[in-house]
Amino acid sequence: MTRFAPIDLDQAFVPKDIPMFADLIAKLGEDNSLKSTRRRDMISGLRQVAKALDRPPQDVPCHGRWLQPRLTKISPAARGLSTKTWQNAVSNARSAMAHVGIVERRFNRVTDLAPEWQTLWTSLLATHDKTLQPPLCRFVHFLSNQGVSPQKVRNAHALCYLEAVTCNEISKSPQVSYRAAVNGWNLATDRVPDWPKTRLSLESRQKVIKLPEDAFPVSFIQDVDALMSDFATPDPLAEDGRHRALRPASIAQYRRQLIRFASEVVHSGVPIAQIQNLAVLLQPDIAERGLRQMLSRSSNQSNAVIAEIALRLRNFSRVSGQPAETQIGLDRLAKRLAVPPQRGMTKKNRDRLRVLQNDERMRRLLNMPDRLFTHPPKGKANAYTKALAREDAVAIAILLICPVRIKNLAGIHLERHIQRPGDGRAYLVLVDDEVKNERPLEFEFPKDLIRMIDQHLATRSPMMCPRGTQWLFPRRDVAAPVEPSQLSSRIAKRVRKQTGLEVNAHLFRHLAVMNWLDANPGGYEVARRLLGHSEVSRTISLYSGLEVKSATRAFADLIETKKGRNT
């Protein structure tokens, strides 16, 4: 019988001759060329990084490609460290690796540059443009070290820089550094008079699927708009079809889905000129081609999005009065691609909530808005950065009290949605046509939150918006509220940076129910009202099990009480 030695799959691609942190620590301890303080800092950095990775130094390889993706995920706040302390630890660990030749030493002094690069870099520093130096410093020193003159820099050199960063970086994303360098170079061509005028290019990371509407035949777009009009103004006396008007948001979603699916059909090889009307798109053989195109990007496995599109096509065929055989064919496709309905929360959300069942972590999140608002970023942060931090604090504070969807949060209008009766109280009011389930919501703001909002409104101008702006979270051109996806991304990043916790905007809704059910096991009706669900069965299905901790604790207390009665 053949036996194989156990393999540590986590280090399967680490070269065999790569030393471990423990080897490096031992080597540094015997290195008399270093000052004692420098030796101490390097060793301390190696130990701190190993501790952050939850590994002993003998299990941490000195390999940049192994370290980088793992260190990128580490949040200093989650480890009880300040950002500066963590940066120093990583820097010291990297310096230790550079000292023994595992990675290249970084060059960042002007005197390290070739003469022509020195002159160019000095002219950039003279602009006092703080957005150019950070992304370009390392790139410029790389080019100078490679003997590339400023006028001869091309895309190939940027790609070589990406490869060099990939080999020598241990904590930052090489792709981010590369893209920042290219974008910084192009900005310098516009802002620095002496900078070479050669522009570098980046490959777009965006996968374009949805084609522009004007690429489709006009008759098809008119057919789609006619169907959407039927959804908006149905005939209440019609024998068949929809009797109730759909909300504008639902109609807009249906329209986007139809145009996107038509684009999928085109990508599958159907000439765009062939799609003259909606009936062509709803032909079962054409619809199958579009659905197969979508399946090709999901390992030929159906998912919720594909299943929803298939179901929509079937429903559109019925509403638009397509022939019976068409409806039967689309119904068959929808059944084949159907996926089981999701029961309860996803595993990822349950895992994230489980982390927050720790009282210390929960307090860290609950106290974060006040702490961030009172003590916004210091150091090099400008007035706009501080105001943006306070705006994020306001958004998170509202979500902790009012677990609304991100679209409703982003769209808060100071006059329409924040009602003030005149007695010092304030309410967040959302009417039925503004929320997903058409259930009006109303939350009373605590006094501390009211003061936070008022203080932010009094100090946000002119850094963020002109005075009198009516959106609580305005877009920078103040023409509309901020995009929900943008605000959601900011909230997730801010929470992670400040607390080390993985909490996105929607998780606040789950968090609200978890806290309520923990204090009130079985209290699903209040949870339903809190979230605006139309049916309590939906709430129970989604959150069943969250109250297990408090329920089991209550049961244990009951048993202890009964024991006391028997004695």
- Same domain for 141 and 66? no
Examine the pLDDT at 518 and tell me if it is beyond 50. Answer: yes
**CB neighbourhood size of 556 (10 A):** 10
Q: What is the mean pLDDT of residues 497-509?
A: 93
pLDDT per residue over 360-376, tens digit each? Answer: 999 999 999 999 999 98
Final residue before a domain boundary, out of 191, 222, 256: 191
Q: Which alpha helices (H) appear in 73-196, and where do they start and end?
A: 83-99, 115-125, 133-145, 155-168, 174-191
pLDDT per residue over 56-110, tens digit each? Answer: 999 999 999 999 999 988 988 888 888 889 999 999 999 999 999 999 888 888 9
pLDDT per residue over 234-244, tens digit each? Answer: 777 766 656 67
Final residue before a domain boundary, out of 99, 118, 144: 99
Predicted local distance difference test score (pLDDT) of residue 549: 66
- Same domain for 50 and 114? no
Q: How far apart, in whole angstroms, are the C-alpha atoms of residue 113 and residue 124?
A: 14
Examine the pLDDT at 163 and tell me if it is beyond 50. Answer: yes
- Same domain for 182 and 136? yes
Q: How far apart, in whole angstroms, are the C-alpha atoms of residue 293 and residue 305?
A: 13
- Same domain for 129 and 243? no
Q: How far apart, in whole angstroms, are the C-alpha atoms of residue 396 and residue 205?
A: 30
Torsion of CA 271, 272, 274, 279, to 10 degrees: 130
Q: Which two tokens stand for residue 5?
A: 């030695």
Domain limits for position 54: 9-99
Final residue before a domain boundary, out of 337, 369, 396: 337
- Same domain for 374 and 430? yes
pLDDT per residue over 22-36, tens digit each? Answer: 999 999 999 999 999
Predicted local distance difference test score (pLDDT) of residue 548: 66
- Same domain for 327 and 450? no
> Which H helix or E strand runs over 427?
strand 427-430
- Same domain for 24 and 134? no
Q: How far apart, in whole angstroms, are the C-alpha atoms of residue 39 and residue 36?
A: 5
Examine the pLDDT at 457 and tell me if it is beyond 90. Answer: yes
Residue 24 lies in a domain: yes
- Same domain for 370 and 326? no
Minimum mean pLDDT range among 150-154, 260-264, 474-478, 520-524: 520-524
Whole-model pTM: value is 0.74
Predicted local distance difference test score (pLDDT) of residue 82: 85
Residue 550 lies in a domain: no
- Same domain for 123 and 90? no
pLDDT per residue over 37-48, tens digit each? Answer: 999 999 999 999
- Same domain for 380 and 496? yes
Examine the pLDDT at 455 and tell me if it is beyond 90. Answer: yes
Residue 115 lies in a domain: yes
Average pLDDT of the chain to the nearest whole number: 90
Q: How confident is the model at residue 567 (pLDDT cuts 50, 70, 90)?
A: very low
Examine the pLDDT at 565 and tell me if it is beyond 60. Answer: no
- Percentage of residues in the chain with pLDDT exceeding 90? 66
Contact partners, residue 1, CB within 8 Å, separation at least 6:
none
Q: Which alpha helices (H) appear in 21-63, and where do they start and end?
A: 21-29, 36-52
286 within 8 A of 270, measured Cβ to Cβ: yes
More confident call, 61 vs 479:
61
How many domains, the chain? 4
Examine the pLDDT at 1 and tell me if it is beyond 60. Answer: no
Longest dimension (CA), the chain: 93
Cis before 57 (ω within 30) = no
- Same domain for 440 and 332? no
pLDDT per residue over 287-343, tens digit each? Answer: 999 999 999 999 999 999 999 999 999 999 998 889 999 999 999 999 999 998 777
Residue 323 lies in a domain: yes
The 427-430 sheet, strands edge to edge: 418-419, 427-430, 441-444
Question: Which is nearest to 536 in space by CA: 428, 437, 398?
Answer: 437
- Same domain for 381 and 496? yes
491 within 8 A of 399, measured Cβ to Cβ: yes
Q: How confident is the model at residue 4 (pLDDT cuts 50, 70, 90)?
A: very low
Residue 374's CATH number = 1.10.443.10
Question: Which is nearest to 29 in space by CA: 21, 101, 168?
Answer: 21
